[in-house]
DNA sequence: ATCATTCTTACAAACGTTTGCAGAAACTGT
DNA sequence: ACAGTTTCTGCAAACGTTTGTAAGAATGAT
């Protein structure tokens, strides 16, 4: 089926040595234009594709990068992976993907298994402990995404600033008391979001009550909504959009109007956020951009450029609040100017 | 950083030859228990991991499988990939992932680029033409997912039967006239869904009007809803859930009640389908199962078992209608028994 | 004790590349 | 015409495995 056409076949047809064929591809400027032409022609005619296994055996480079994600079913990660894969292809890297199924042990195991066939691996929202992380990082070049450890290269979404934007937005609308529905306690993102929230709360004179922790999904949002309402807040900031969607659903079910009775803000800006009614105000995470940044960081590291820039291994990439229809000034009276901004709203009654 | 510990190092430490080390791993029964023990001990002490590039160079097998998807951002595909990756790992395969960005040319190119470092590739919803497909299939073992070509191995979701279930469901509710919002004309899934719909329409005495084609997304659903209403149908079957969500949104916006005024059915059963209000009746596609099936098909093919079973290369995997709150008997009068089935519905007025 | 048989292990040749080294050819300036 | 450069190409040795062949040791049958 797959008839292996090797460098030797090409060499024979072009009547040159194998080294010339090899060089025609990897160091074209070293071989005379006319012969190079002849070689390339022969290669094309034969359908030659270099065997990367053989190449990597001698060069030590594989031109592959590994990617580990906790759960592909979480819409956040495919988006990151998409960014990674696009940027990787630009630098002629292919990507190896592994799903750790949220299992910290499996996570480390997968990285070890990959190690030999990749030049480095990007670990998204690493769940494993610091000890494992340290060990793994000693055997393979790593880039962390949304996780910080020692001074391992990392790209970190500036989610704390996203919190600031959310609070500032709510404060500007006139809110003075809001709830934060906390996510998984071990999550770096959750810590950052909470930290940012506290800082901003003080700065803008908003009182924040922290509830939870909750699981970062729709059902937890249903549960959390009641608790938030009982806390008598005018606005709810959920750990992520899935939770926020749950909150929206439950509030609606209880006959409370969003944003008239209570404002809701999420994190992530998943596709659904703009499709739901009312559309969700949320902090957009730069998923694709971060994926790209992670690849760049890894490529730099592999090229030895990592240490050049004074140990500046951790890049922060900005987040942005997307204001939609789920936030408004507090209190029942609905000003007309707000009606105009939620044309899809069902709250006409 | 990555200190290469080779089979030679292990051999030296265990005081045996390299071949014995190799065989201790690949054909353990051929080496005496005592020496094997010594070898494994040495390997563990040194942290030896076989270099797969070197191995594949000689064996011709890579233990990798390639996966090509049109668009990772479409929630359908991560789910398939998850199934693939889980099943692949069970058979000690790692997966290579590539996103073709819906570009048929890039699709073929990616497969060629992968070819040398994988044993075979799974192409999901292939967008490329038959000619390219033929050419590619001659250079690499392929398994198609939701695409049929000649007698290439394929796993096909029985989406036509899903259509049948949807129509039968609507007929049982008393519907006699419904719309199908068609998806991309070149899509195999679209053809199948339409085919199944026509068949079932005749069998169950339901009149189906076909509208479209539309893009398979939310915005197209907004657009399509009005057209369907103008066609005076009592039920709408959308090409996929995203479109159905758009339909729901637009109907709501126009003051029409779902399911009281019109019933809506989607395809795919994306996570959102059960979170929205009213929750969406939809035909669940066996995404993970299909991913697994594709891997099995590929593994069989690679083991040479492919031809044994009489050319039965194309497996069909069943779909299932999930009845939720977006379908009900036609007409305005709402029977009480239906109120009970949509507790989350906002339609209390 | 001898021979045939089975076990166990080592040697060395592959696999398809890349690359250091050196030789050949073509220029250059005198 | 000659030595000194530069440009181009080929030879052969790696890279880390697997595996066919064969040699030595141990076993069993005669």
pLDDT one-digit tens code per residue, B22-46: 999 999 888 899 999 999 999 999 9
Residues making up chain A, counted from first to last: 349
| Cβ contact A82–B95 (<8 Å) | no
Residue A272, chain B, CB below 8 Å: the answer is yes
- Cβ–Cβ of A95/B94 closer than 8 Å? no
CA A329/CA A172 separation, integer angstroms: 8
A218 touches chain B (CB under 8 A): yes
Q: Predicted confidence band at B251 (pLDDT cuts at 50, 70, 90)?
A: very high
Which range is most confident: A279-293, A299-313, B39-53, B305-319?
A279-293
Residue B65 is predicted with a pLDDT of: 94
Residue B126: pLDDT above 50?
yes
- Confidence at residue B21, expressed as pLDDT on a 0 to 100 scale: 94
B115–A49 C-beta distance less than 8 A: yes
Nearest residue, CB atoms, A52 vs list B89, B94, B117: B117
A116: nt with nearest C1' to CA: D16
Q: Which residues contact A310 (CB under 8 A, 6 or more apart)?
A: none
Per mean pLDDT, which range of A133-147, B152-166, B277-291 is the poorest?
Answer: A133-147
Min Cα distance B204 → chain A (Å) is: 34
**A87, pLDDT greater than 80:** yes
> Do the Cβ atoms of B344 and B296 come closer than 8 Å?
no
A134 touches strand C (CB under 7 A): no
Low-confidence winner among A209-223, A322-336, B180-194 (lowest mean pLDDT): A322-336
CB contact at 8 A, B165 and B201: no
Are B190 and B183 contacting, i.e. CB atoms less than 8 angstroms apart? Answer: yes
* A115 contacts on B by Cβ (under 8 Å): 2, 49
pLDDT value of residue A342: 39
Through-space separation of residue B47 CA and nucleotide D1 C1' in angstroms = 66
Question: Residue A283: beta bridge partners?
Answer: A267, A321
Element of type H or E holding A331? none
Which residue, counting CA atoms, is nearest to the C1' of nucleotide D12? A19
Q: Which of A1-15, A138-152, A170-184, A319-333 has the highest mean pLDDT?
A: A170-184
Residue A304 has pLDDT above 60, yes or no: yes
Residues 72..111 of A with a Cβ closer than 8 Å to B: which?
Answer: 72-73, 75, 77-79, 81-82, 85-86, 89, 94-99, 101
Residue pair A157/A285 in contact by the 8 Å Cβ criterion: yes
Give A23-43 pLDDT, tens digit per residue.
Answer: 999 998 889 999 999 999 999
Q: Is the Cβ–Cβ distance between A131 and A108 less than 8 Å?
A: no
Q: In this predicted model, what pLDDT tens digit does every residue of B195-212 receive, in sequence order?
A: 999 999 999 999 999 998
Pick from B178, B227, B169: nearest CA to B206: B178
Q: Provide the pairing of β-strand B94-99 with A94-99.
A: antiparallel
Residue-level pLDDT at B243: 96
Answer yes or no: do A78 and B82 touch at CB < 8 A. Answer: no
Question: Cβ separation of B75 and A75 shorter than 8 Å?
Answer: yes
Does the pLDDT at position A307 exceed 60?
A: no
pLDDT for residue B337 is more than 60: no
In percent, how much of chain A has pLDDT > 70? 92
**At residue A346, does pLDDT exceed 50?**
no
Smallest CA–CA distance, residue A278 to chain B, in Å, is 10
Residue A172 has pLDDT above 60, yes or no: yes
pLDDT at B3: 62
Residue with tokens 């400027």: A29
Does residue A145 sit in helix, strand or coil? Answer: strand
Asked if pLDDT for residue A320 goes beyond 50, the answer is yes
Domains and CATH numbers, chain A: 64-156+288-317 (3.40.50.2300), 159-286+321-339 (3.40.50.2300)
How many Å apart are B8 CA and D27 C1'?
32
- Spanning CA of A33 to C1' of D2, the rounded length in angstroms is 30
At residue A335 the predicted structure's pLDDT band, cuts being 50, 70 and 90, is very low
Lowest mean pLDDT among A51-55, A141-145, B294-298: A51-55
SS (H, E, C) chain B: CCCCCCHHHHHHHHCCCHHHHHHHHHCHHHCCHHHHHHHHHHHHHHCCCCCHHHHHHHHCCCCEEEEEECCCCCCHHHHHHHHHHHHHHHCCCEEEEEECCCCHHHHHHHHHHHHCCCCEEEEECCCCCHHHHHHHHHHCCEEEECCCCCCCCEEEECHHHHHHHHHHHHHHHCCCEEEEECCCCCCHHHHHHHHHHHHHHHHHCCEEEEECCCCCCHHHHHHHHHHHHHCCCCEEEECCHHHHHHHHHHHHHCCCCCCCCCEEEEEECCHHHHCCCCCCEEEECCHHHHHHHHHHHHHHHHCCHHHCCCCCCEEEECCEEECCCCCCCCCCCCCHHHHCCCCCCCCCC
Q: What pLDDT band is residue B342 in, cutting at 50, 70 and 90?
A: very low
pLDDT in the model for residue B333: 38
Measure B142 CA to nearest chain A CA, in Å.
11
What's the mean per-residue pLDDT of chain B? Answer: 89
Q: What is the pLDDT of residue B310?
A: 45
pLDDT above 90: residue B288: yes
pLDDT digits (tens, 9 = 90+) for B224-243: 999 999 999 999 999 999 99
Dihedral sign computed on CA atoms, order A182, A183, A187, A189: negative
Q: What percent of chain B has pLDDT over 70?
A: 92
Those nucleotides of strand C lying less than 7 Å from any protein Cβ are: 7-12, 14-20
Chain centroid offset of residue A258 CA: 29
pLDDT of residue B192: 96
The residues close to strand D, meaning Cβ under 7 A, are A 15-20, 23, 30-36, 54, 57-58; B 4, 6-8, 18-19, 22-23, 25-27, 48-51, 54-55, 57-59
| ω into B259 cis (within 30 of 0) | yes
Pairs of CB atoms within 8 A across A/B: 148
Residue A334 is given by DSSP the state P
Mutate to test the interface with A, among B72, B134, B280 (most CBs of A within 10 A): B72
pLDDT of the residue at A197: 97
A253 with B56: Cβ contact below 8 A: no
> Mean pLDDT across chain A, nearest whole number?
89
CB contact under 8 A, B252 and A50: no
Residue of chain A minimizing CA distance to B279: A249
Cβ of residue B62 closer than 8 Å to a chain A Cβ: yes
pLDDT at residue B51 tops 80: yes
Of the candidates A266, A274, A207, the residue with the CA atom closest to the CA atom of residue A238 = A266
Is residue A123 a contact partner of residue A65, using CB atoms and an 8 Å limit? no
CA A149 to centroid of chain Cα atoms: 17
Question: For A252-284, what is each residue's pLDDT tens digit?
Answer: 999 999 999 999 999 999 999 999 999 999 999
Q: Phi-psi bin for A140: left (phi > 0), alpha (psi -120 to 50), beta?
A: beta
Residue B307 has pLDDT above 80, yes or no: no
**Residue B275 to residue A95, Cβ atoms within 8 A:** no
pLDDT at A348 over 80: no
| Span of A194-203, A309-318, B75-84, B306-315 with lowest mean pLDDT | B306-315
Backbone angles phi, psi at A243, to 5 degrees: -65, -45
């Amino acid at each position: 089926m797959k008839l292996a056409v090797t460098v030797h076949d090409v060499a024979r047809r072009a009547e040159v040595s194998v080294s010339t064929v090899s060089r025609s591809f990897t160091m074209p400027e070293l071989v005379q234009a006319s012969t190079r032409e002849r070689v390339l022609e022969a290669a094309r005619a034969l359908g030659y594709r270099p065997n990367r296994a053989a190449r990597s055996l001698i060069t030590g480079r594989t031109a592959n990068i590994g990617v580990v994600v906790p759960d592909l079913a979480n819409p956040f990660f495919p988006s990151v992976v998409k960014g990674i894969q696009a940027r990787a292809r630009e630098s002629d890297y292919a990507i190896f993907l592994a799903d750790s199924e949220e299992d910290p042990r499996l996570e480390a195991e997968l990285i070890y298994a990959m190690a030999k066939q990749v030049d480095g691996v990007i670990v998204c929202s690493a769940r494993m402990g610091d000890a494992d992380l340290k060990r793994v990082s000693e055997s393979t070049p790593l880039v962390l995404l949304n996780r910080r450890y020692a001074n391992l290269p990392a790209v970190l979404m500036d989610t704390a600033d996203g919190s600031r934007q959310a609070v500032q937005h709510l404060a500007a609308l006139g809110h003075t008391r809001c709830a934060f529905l906390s996510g998984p306690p071990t999550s770096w993102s959750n810590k950052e979001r909470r930290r940012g929230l506290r800082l901003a709360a003080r700065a803008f004179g908003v009182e924040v009550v922290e509830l939870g922790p909750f699981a970062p999904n729709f059902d937890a949002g249903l549960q959390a909504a009641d608790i938030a309402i009982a806390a008598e807040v005018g606005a709810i900031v959920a750990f992520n959009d899935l939770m926020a969607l749950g909150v929206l659903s439950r509030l609606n079910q209880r006959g409370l109007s969003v944003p008239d009775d209570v404002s809701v803000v999420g994190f992530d800006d998943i596709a659904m956020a703009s499709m739901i009614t009312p559309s969700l105000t949320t902090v957009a995470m730069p998923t694709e951009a971060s994926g790209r940044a992670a690849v760049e960081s890894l490529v730099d590291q592999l090229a030895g450029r990592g240490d050049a820039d004074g140990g500046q291994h951790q890049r922060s990439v900005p987040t942005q609040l997307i204001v939609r229809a789920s936030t408004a000034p507090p209190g029942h009276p609905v000003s007309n100017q707000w009606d105009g901004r939620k044309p899809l709203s069902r709250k006409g009654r």
